[in-house]
Structure 1
Amino acid sequence: MAKLTDKVAFITGASSGIGKGIAKVYAKYDAKLILVDISEEIYNLAEELRDKGNDVLVEIADVTDVESLKKAVKRAKEEYGTIDILVANAGVCKLGNFLEMKDQDRDFHIDVNIKGAWNTVKAVLPEMIKNEYGNIVITSSVTGDMVADPGETAYALSKSALVGFTKSLAVEFAQNNIRVNAICPGYVRTPMAESIAEQSNPEDPESVLSEMAKAIPMRRLADPKEVGELAAFLGSDESSYMTGTQNTIDGGSTLPESVSVGT
């Protein structure tokens, strides 16, 4: 029996990047999946996983839209009877100089990254409370709470907020046998990282990704499925005595004091 056999997992932002990696790993461990995304690309992943024998439900929903999330949760309950695991992963990143950033770009990060996680947890949590069981995994970042680069103020603001959100939820709902933990990835080879590289150097985005890798002690970006393995551990009962934690997965990128000393 795989460690997520018979567990029902609700994963947002599952169509690409880290969310897609998480979904594939959860499928590997035999979870029943509710894949939630704003993009219809999610159907392609669902078809791929179903072809491998996985039980997959797709819901097109926007994490900024409470009603669409409620609809997704309702359908998940109708199909599977419950939700055991929530991976609140949907997120966005748009670089911008702080003094030049428009309010709507700031609010874009707040609406999707902070309010989106809030909305998703609020939609799923009542079902977990009813069952006196649940594991919640929230995708934060090393950015904001630990490190930051120029142009990331809005993103850093939103992702660091998720750390406080995780810890507060963990304390409040521990008595309901609900655990809440955060994943804090460094750079992962995803469309988001590629977008950051494109915004940083439109003429040669690949050079930006190469420089990212050089600053990481392991000299590479993560594969999304490596983050998925951590998410699967936190979503499973293997992590049964963990709650309110920040789990850094960054290839050591937050360790060096300098990229030049000692080289």
Structure 2
Amino acid sequence: MAKLDGKTALITGAAAGLGEGIAEVYAKYGANICMVDLDPSVEETAERIRGLYPDARIITQVANVADRAQMDAAAARTVEEFGTIDVACANAGVCRLAPFEEMTDETRDFHIDVNIKGAWNTCKAVIPAMLKAGKGAIVIASSVTGDIVADAGEAAYAMSKAALVGLTKCLAVEYADRHIRVNCSQLGYARTPMVEKMALESNPDNPEEAINDIAVGVPMKRLAKPTEVGELFAFLGSDEASYITGEQVVIDGGSTLPETMSMGTN
């Protein structure tokens, strides 16, 4: 039996990147899935995953995580289709770079709306179904950025991702005795459209060089694959993680470990 057989998962930001990787892994492990994204191409992504796993039960919902009513509707449709929501993967996120003195309030608020309110709205939408079922698991996509490390130009992103650690810990405590576990991932870099856009903003003349430079700073010498992040989300959403809650799980290929890149015997 696959470890997510019979479980129903709602996954946000599922049209591409990490969300696509999470959905693919959840399908591999037998979950019923509602793939949520603002981009209508989420249905094309779902069709690709159905091709890999023909037995997968997947629905899609076009919704903006920043809109509470739209997330409530996505959760309601998931329950209508599958009967409950066992796992929520609050993955949708954005990152736009700018020097702090040039960063507009609109850019700041964009990060707050999608990264913070998006996770908040997702949790608000799914927790009633979990309370009714008497159990559930939520996995929130935070980041090493903000809570552990940061780069110049990431003030809004770092602030928003660090806030998700606080949300994770509070919800974990609040719902522990009601059998809802809440954990967050703290990813370094994966090869996703968002990271490729950040690379273009960092080095417009040669964005691939920016990505290669990231890999140089990672002890494993590469970026994560979205499906590798999906495996972490699958574990945290499964019964195998039944005694884990309120945790920040770093998945970064060791990138936050080195003190410097120039000292040592290697």
Which bin holds the TM-score, normalised by the shorter protein?
over 0.9
- 1:76 Cα shift? 0.9
- Deviation digits for residues 112-160 of structure 1 (CA, Å, limit 9, x no counterpart): 0001100110011011011110000000000000000000010000000
- 1:45 Cα shift? 1.4
Question: What is the number of residues matched between the two proteins?
Answer: 263
Counterparts of residues 117-128 of structure 1 (less than 5 Å) = 117-128=119-130
The match for 2:8 is 8
The match for 1:132 is 134
What TM-score results when the alignment is normalised by the length of structure 1? 0.99
SS of the residue corresponding to residue 99 of structure 1 reads: helix
- 1:67 Cα shift? 1.1
Counterparts of residues 64-213 of structure 1 (less than 5 Å) = 64-213=66-215
Specify the code of the residue in structure 1 equivalent to 2:13: G
SS of the residue corresponding to residue 88 of structure 2 reads: strand
In structure 1, the gaps of 5 or more residues are: none
Specify the code of the residue in structure 1 equivalent to 2:182: V
In structure 2, the gaps of 5 or more residues are: none
| Aligned counterparts of 1:22 and 1:221: Cα–Cα separation in 2 | 16
Specify the code of the residue in structure 1 equivalent to 2:70: S
The match for 2:38 is 38
The match for 1:17 is 17
The match for 1:60 is 62
The match for 2:28 is 28
| Aligned counterparts of 1:185 and 1:217: Cα–Cα separation in 2 | 15
SS of the residue corresponding to residue 11 of structure 2 reads: strand
Specify the code of the residue in structure 1 equivalent to 2:40: E
| Aligned counterparts of 2:195 and 2:78: Cα–Cα separation in 1 | 31
Specify the code of the residue in structure 2 equivalent to 1:3: K
- 1:48 Cα shift? 1.6
| Aligned counterparts of 2:113 and 2:73: Cα–Cα separation in 1 | 19
SS of the residue corresponding to residue 197 of structure 1 reads: helix
Specify the code of the residue in structure 1 equivalent to 2:68: V
SS of the residue corresponding to residue 132 of structure 2 reads: helix
| Aligned counterparts of 1:113 and 1:82: Cα–Cα separation in 2 | 25
Does 2:196 align with 1:217?
Answer: no
| Aligned counterparts of 2:173 and 2:123: Cα–Cα separation in 1 | 15
Does 2:230 align with 1:228?
Answer: yes
- 1:98 Cα shift? 0.5
Q: CA RMSD in A?
A: 0.7
- Deviation digits for residues 165-210 of structure 1 (CA, Å, limit 9, x no counterpart): 0000000000110000000000100011101100001110000000
What TM-score results when the alignment is normalised by the length of structure 2? 0.98
The match for 1:259 is 261
- 1:50 Cα shift? 2.3
Q: List 4+ stretches of structure 1 deviating above 6 A.
A: none
| Aligned counterparts of 2:79 and 2:180: Cα–Cα separation in 1 | 18
SS of the residue corresponding to residue 260 of structure 1 reads: coil
SS of the residue corresponding to residue 217 of structure 1 reads: coil
- 1:49 Cα shift? 2.2
